[in-house]
């Protein structure tokens, strides 16, 4: 009799255990912060797994990558999602342990228009990026390592986050109206040239024929060592060869100008050839800088005449201080020439193609700085002296 009761007891026990799983109360899922995508519950006995599917295959791939468990102690995968401006979904993934303690967190900000992960360039125009980067540079310029500060200041290299009211970049909040303003390609930004000390003598160092693979950056390093700016007269083919250096020159707030396309004597060209030399160079540079403002021009060999200035609506710049660095003399000779011929409000001619020029410039910059000179761009020099910068003119100095 007792033996007959054993199967019955086993059956009752099994039913009780099964009822625990069949009739246990369901966990209520909070959908408040799941505003984007189709909710998917892939939970099992060992893992609570809340996920989402979207209409974008690329975004779904990114979601799968972020959902990979970081370690075996993870017992819950969850997410939150929201959308900015109806085209930038942000998805935040969390991984927690059995005690509901956070193990890891990661996010995706996606651009539905490009079907790619969003970048800061999706929110700001190139002009706005340059301006905001320069503002960061000015804040950081007191740091000991200036070049590192330049890299840190580049907003395209900084992480950002979207919030209901806009985005946060470099711990600064930009509202939706700010973003709309910075996405306007017609917006103009204030000049970020340095404030010229009134007690210092000014001189504009200019560099022709570049950019150079390494020397252009070295010239900028020397200028910035003394909180200075320079003007770089760039040739068209070299701009397309070294676009990153052109952009860096702009980002480091030095003046970019034109040295024509093929370095021909402009006074010996036909109108068609003249237009090509000037405007093809300008197009090449502007394609890199995204700055549509007309460029100052350094005519090759300093060759310029009234006929050219009447045909080309641009500002031309020559010099009244010649380093004679093209002779490739010893650096100390070029240094002595620069120092002995420098004068207040002068414009100095150099070429950043030559290693000897860079070595000589380092020497001359140290000596001229000790004599009370401030190194400025041609544009800053002329403006500081109240000189109107007008097309059809050639400027040799700031007097």
Tokens 């086993």: give the residue: 10
Q: What pLDDT was estimated at residue 3?
A: 47
* Cβ partners under 8 Å of residue 348, min gap 6: 203, 204, 205, 206, 319, 321, 322, 323, 338, 342
- As given in the structure block, the two tokens for residue 180 are 């709309």
**Residue 126 and residue 138: Cα distance in Å, rounded?**
18
**Residue 222 and residue 359: Cα distance in Å, rounded?**
10
Stretch (H or E) spanning 289: helix 281-289
- Strands 38-41 and 48-53 turn out to be antiparallel
**Residue 90 and residue 112: Cα distance in Å, rounded?**
11
Partners of 316 in the beta sheet? 297, 394
Convert 275-301 to b/e letters by CB count within 10 Å (16 or more is b).
Answer: ebbbebbbebbbebbeeeeebbbbbbe
**Residue 55 and residue 398: Cα distance in Å, rounded?**
61
- Strands 76-84 and 88-96 turn out to be antiparallel
Pick the closest to residue 170 from 181, 178, 159 (CA basis): 159
Q: What is the pTM of this model?
A: 0.62
Instruction: With H, G, I as helix, E, B as strand and everything else as coil, classify residue 109.
Output: strand
**Residue 76 and residue 71: Cα distance in Å, rounded?**
11
Tokens 């200035």: give the residue: 309
Q: What pLDDT was estimated at residue 84?
A: 79
Q: What pLDDT was estimated at residue 55?
A: 93
Q: Are 354 and 213 in contact (CB under 8 A)?
A: no
Q: Are 396 and 385 in contact (CB under 8 A)?
A: no
**Residue 240 and residue 113: Cα distance in Å, rounded?**
29
CB atoms near residue 123 (< 10 Å): 26
Q: What pLDDT was estimated at residue 190?
A: 55
Averaged pLDDT in 10-residue chunks for the chain of 399 residues: 57 59 57 90 91 94 88 92 87 93 92 92 79 71 55 75 78 80 70 61 96 96 91 97 92 92 96 96 92 92 96 96 92 96 97 96 96 94 91 95
């Amino acid at each position: 009799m007792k033996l007959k009761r054993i199967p019955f007891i086993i059956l009752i026990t099994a039913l009780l255990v099964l009822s625990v799983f069949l009739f246990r109360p369901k966990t209520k899922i909070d959908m408040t912060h799941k505003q984007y995508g189709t909710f998917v519950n892939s939970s099992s006995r060992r893992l609570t797994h809340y996920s989402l599917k979207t209409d974008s295959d690329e975004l779904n791939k990114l979601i799968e990558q972020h959902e990979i468990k970081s370690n075996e102690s993870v017992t819950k995968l969850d997410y939150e999602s929201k959308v900015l401006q109806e085209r930038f979904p942000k998805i935040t993934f969390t991984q927690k342990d059995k005690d509901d303690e956070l193990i890891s967190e990661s996010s995706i900000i996606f651009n539905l228009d490009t079907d790619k992960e969003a970048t800061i360039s999706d929110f700001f125009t190139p002009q706005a990026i340059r301006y905001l980067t320069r503002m960061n540079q000015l804040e950081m310029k007191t740091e000991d390592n200036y070049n590192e500060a330049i890299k840190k200041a580049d907003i395209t290299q900084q992480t950002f986050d979207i919030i209901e009211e806009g985005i946060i970049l470099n711990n600064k909040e930009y509202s939706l109206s700010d973003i709309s303003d910075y996405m306007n390609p017609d917006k103009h930004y204030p000049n970020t040239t340095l404030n010229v000390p009134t007690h210092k003598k000014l001189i504009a160092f200019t560099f022709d024929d570049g950019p150079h693979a390494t020397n252009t950056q070295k010239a900028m390093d020397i200028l910035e060592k003394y909180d200075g700016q320079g003007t770089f007269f760039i040739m068209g083919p070299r701009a397309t060869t070294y676009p990153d250096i052109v952009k860096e020159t702009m980002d480091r707030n030095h003046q970019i100008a034109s040295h024509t396309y093929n370095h021909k004597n402009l006074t010996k060209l036909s109108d068609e050839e003249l237009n090509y030399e000037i405007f093809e160079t300008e197009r090449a540079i502007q394609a890199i800088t995204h700055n549509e403002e007309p460029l100052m021009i350094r005519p090759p060999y300093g060759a310029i005449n009234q006929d050219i200035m009447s045909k080309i609506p641009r500002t031309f710049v020559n010099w009244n201080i010649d380093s004679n660095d093209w002779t490739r003399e010893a650096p100390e000779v070029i240094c002595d020439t620069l120092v002995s011929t420098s004068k207040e409000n002068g414009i100095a001619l150099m070429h950043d193609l030559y290693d000897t020029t860079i070595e000589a410039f380092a020497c001359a910059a140290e000596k001229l700085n000790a004599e009370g000179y401030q190194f400025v761009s041609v544009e800053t020099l002329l403006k500081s002296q109240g000189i109107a910068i007008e097309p059809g003119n050639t400027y040799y100095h700031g007097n």
